[in-house]
Structure 1
């Protein structure tokens, strides 16, 4: 598909000094409560786990923004920059990007909402980037998004090479994870722009909704599986295209470097065309989360004791291997029920099974148990640097003993993360 567009040439584009990303596991928590299937495991509303490990990828969550916070608050400034201004953004777009809570704010339900508005004889919207703050290289990169709709509306979840603008576009590289133009409500596009293949001549493909429905009708998960010599685009876990250096026709493959994220909603432009009488405002892009998983690790890891802050051990009750066996604290005794493998796939395993949040629950007080490893979000854990907490990203809550009592035989649960000593764990 040809299109004359160039997203990044505006001279006033804000440039922050490039920083290397130190991927942190200290952020996470899906705001959308999972639904339990007949087996009691956690799934999302589409029936597929939000964890890529449950689909086709053994991966450890290394960074996320779950957009938790009070309604009307700004997105986390530790992760996101606001790029502002008008001028068409190289595509003859109509909107002016502003840093206003009317255009970008948390909704209080675990979502970021980017709103395009018609006001003052023009249009306002928001464009957020992680430039200089979060710049991953490789892995499963995904966002769960409900896109806006309407002629002339252009939502996107995309990336630019971390050396931009010092290295100009397109040499810096661009990865479009998801773009939609309002006149094609049932189609999303995935694209690469680089030296020799950019603007109206990119490397690109598209994915049509399996039922032909509008992508604006519900949330969908848009992702890339990014490796040194390939990038694959899944939508809701369904991979629809893979590009490799062979697709550049001898031009440089510029995707072996850190990239930063961009979320925006444009109004008008050369490719989508312009709003007409059918276009309704305001239009909102609702983002449930953005996540980065490390796909390079596999399921190995470090094995040994996990100890609480008072030195007592994390233990499988009775060394029982049955599904549903409670996880407790116990005096350290060197048996196999206290030998835990902290996996590079995000699991914590003992006796051949996984540390699991019962029923895939997300509420504070949900018990923690041993369960057959199944790749769901109920079995994903992230060590929080600094506080030494062990956090379940799906719920956003941390492992602690029931009643906050560190005694022999005390069972464990998930609870609100508070940085306290009873949530502090020493891992192998």
Structure 2
């Protein structure tokens, strides 16, 4: 049997192919889990980035996608020297990029504090790829040990003109080695940078360490909002309202960065307990933006919209039919992972039910089949797990009518237009 990692790589490759085909012709082939005749979302990809790091062991990263930065970093008092070449960043021949931090200085590199004690690598997509909005994710296994500081993050493409922090910084994932079970997501901008950045932490249950397994770190980024998740579990959402009147600088293009720092103000320096070399193993990086990445209404029976009751973000909030009003409670994103998202959460079949009449709700995104949907060319919205359609209860057009799943009948109360 193929390994889970290999199966996932095949799925990523298939997704990339579907997105490319979608960009060219605006449609995709049928999802085999959907009812006969159903098709994958007919959503044209406006911009995509995908790297699954396939290639022979020891090969460099794809130079058309990434460039290597070199040098030290006095600003954070980090201890490493970032090198070029493949000594600190190379493919492993098994579909991974491996960024390796070593306790060494074979070339006599000079750092801000004198002769460098460590080497590592930092890659970015500046000048090669940038995106404004979308689903940004990396699947990685992080290193362990005091002084380790792996990160997956983004900077505004105008950093050369406006400088940092005016450029803005979106930290999708940072970990400091003294917190093996915790990762952080943060935004930095003018008046809220460095230790004043605005963010939150996510902890694994039961004392598990992030270094023990691969995990997927992501943001869903739309105009005026950024939502963070780990393995599909949403843990924070930030909007301009969180800035206390300071300037939101995240409605413009950003490029990607992957790095493994050693030491610095935040993690502290390595000590006698830190084993070297340490590795950040990256399985995949992807960015998907689409026509719906900024959020669009979903219109149905009577020209009314799919609406989150009261714009309430609490788990279990009813999803209903309501007069279209352009509010955030009616702005839905058709995400690349098959979810439909609003207000930073997912459209969810209550209790994972599969029976006719099971109501739908808003709930934390968790990657389950209860949150997977296929938008068909026939204007059905299908939950493949139940093999049923999104349905307006009793065919009523009254404001507040609950939405549910029901056997697909082709009736008007099951027809939807996205956008």
The answer to whether the 8 Å contact 2:288/2:336 transfers is no
Distance 1:31 1:119 in 2: 35
1:134 is the counterpart of 2:120: no
Alignment partner for residue 176 of structure 1, among 171, 196, 201? 171
Q: Which runs of 5+ in 2 are unaligned?
A: 13-30, 34-40, 106-115, 297-333, 338-368, 376-419
The answer to whether the 8 Å contact 2:135/2:335 transfers is no
Distance 2:82 2:373 in 1: 38
The answer to whether the 8 Å contact 1:113/1:285 transfers is yes
Distance 1:184 1:131 in 2: 30
TM-score (norm 2): 0.58
Matched residue, 2:93: 108
Q: Counterparts of 1:149-188 in structure 2 under 5 Å?
A: 149-188=144-183
> Which of structures 1 and 2 has the larger relative contact order (alpha carbons within 8 angstroms, sep 6+)?
1
Q: Which runs of 5+ in 1 are unaligned?
A: 1-29, 36-40, 44-52, 301-343, 348-371, 380-428
Coordinate RMSD, CA, aligned: 3.3
The aligned length equals 265
Matched residue, 2:77: 92
Matched residue, 1:317: none
Distance 1:126 1:173 in 2: 22
Partner of 1:223, secondary structure, is: strand
The answer to whether the 8 Å contact 1:245/1:253 transfers is yes
Instruction: Answer 1 or 2: which has greater helix percent.
Output: 2
Alignment partner for residue 122 of structure 1, among 117, 131, 140? 117
Alignment partner for residue 229 of structure 1, among 221, 224, 227? 224
Relative to 1, partners in 2 of residues 1:296 and 1:212: Cα closer, same or farther, differing over 3 Å? farther
Partner of 2:211, secondary structure, is: helix
Relative to 1, partners in 2 of residues 1:84 and 1:236: Cα closer, same or farther, differing over 3 Å? same
Partner of 2:219, secondary structure, is: strand
Relative to 1, partners in 2 of residues 1:277 and 1:134: Cα closer, same or farther, differing over 3 Å? same
Q: Which 4+ residue blocks in structure 1 deviate beyond 3 angstroms?
A: 58-61, 344-347, 374-377
Matched residue, 2:243: 248
Alignment partner for residue 275 of structure 2, among 268, 274, 280? 280
1:115-134 deviation line (CA, Å, top 9, x unaligned): 00001361000000000111
Give the CA deviation at 1:164.
1.1
Give the CA deviation at 1:166.
1.7
Distance 1:131 1:290 in 2: 15
Matched residue, 1:64: 50
The answer to whether the 8 Å contact 1:31/1:111 transfers is no
Matched residue, 2:68: 82
Relative to 1, partners in 2 of residues 1:96 and 1:246: Cα closer, same or farther, differing over 3 Å? same
